[in-house]
Amino acid sequence: MGRAMRIIHAGEAYHLTARGSNRGSIFVDDDDRQRFVMRLGVAAQRYEWSCLGYCLMGNHIHLVARGPDGAIPLGMRDLLGGHARRFNSRHSRTGHVFGSRFHHVHIADDRQMMATLRYVALNPVRAGLVERPEEWPWSSYASLMNGVVHPGTVDARAVLSLVAKDDVGPWAARQRFADQVEAGIDEALAAARIAGA
């Protein structure tokens, strides 16, 4: 029996996730992560994505993106397939890197978008890797807060427009975005403590 057809609408935003096969690592070191971020930038530009967020974890990734008709599946194919080929070659391994097709959740409105971006930004905090989301260098949140955005990886204007409804400047919009994310830090730290217990 064939796979179920994906329903991904042009111009709509999606929270995309992909997990390592058997929950195994998809990144061994920072070189793997850096190359993935570069590959993300290339895929986003090639397929005309507006990438609003990403976070690279040890055995899974989060992306938040929208694109024209067919662009999300094609971009994910190139991004994940290219990473898997390089990962296997670099680490002298064979077999699947990712466990299955990527998962996608439609983001219906700005409120859900903000909740999703906060969830993605706080993923490393919940995992107990850092105490503050901007300390995790492999996320769009850290890129935005630290002012170092790799080309194509984050549509900063689209992200900041979520909180800049009254024409505030970019610095104030960035602070508002940080306030929204940081409102969830205590809960994320509590989750990390529970997981570590």
pLDDT digits (tens, 9 = 90+) for 157-191: 889 888 887 667 778 888 999 999 999 998 888 88
State which fold the 13-196 domain adopts.
Answer: Alpha-Beta Plaits (3.30.70)
Output the pLDDT for position 5. Answer: 56
Is the alpha carbon torsion for 103, 110, 190, 129 positive or negative? Answer: positive
Task: Say which range, 30-44, 118-132, 150-164, has the weakest mean pLDDT.
Answer: 150-164
pLDDT at 197 over 60: no
Residue position matching structure tokens 């999606």: 14
Query: What band does 8 get if pLDDT is binned at 50, 70 and 90?
Result: confident
**Does 1 have pLDDT greater than 50?**
no
pLDDT of res. 4:
60
The sign of the CA dihedral 98, 99, 101, 102 is: negative
Model confidence pTM above 0.85: yes
More confident of the two residues 179 and 4: 179
Nearest to 180 by CA among 107, 108, 106, 116: 116
CA end-to-end distance (rounded Å), the chain: 43
Residues 6+ apart with CB under 8 A from 157: none
98, pLDDT greater than 60: yes
Mean model confidence pLDDT for the chain = 89
Q: Is it the case that residue 63 has pLDDT exceeding 60?
A: yes
- When pLDDT is averaged across residues 19-29 and rounded to a whole number, the result is 88
Alpha helices in 127-155 (DSSP H): 140-146
Show the DSSP H helices in 30-169 as ranges. Answer: 30-46, 71-90, 110-126, 140-146, 156-161
pLDDT digits (tens, 9 = 90+) for 65-83: 999 998 999 999 999 999 8
Q: In the chain, where do the E strands start and end? A: 13-19, 50-56, 60-66, 103-107
Query: Do 104 and 14 touch, CB atoms closer than 8 A?
Result: yes
| Structure tokens that stand for 77 in this block | 């194919």
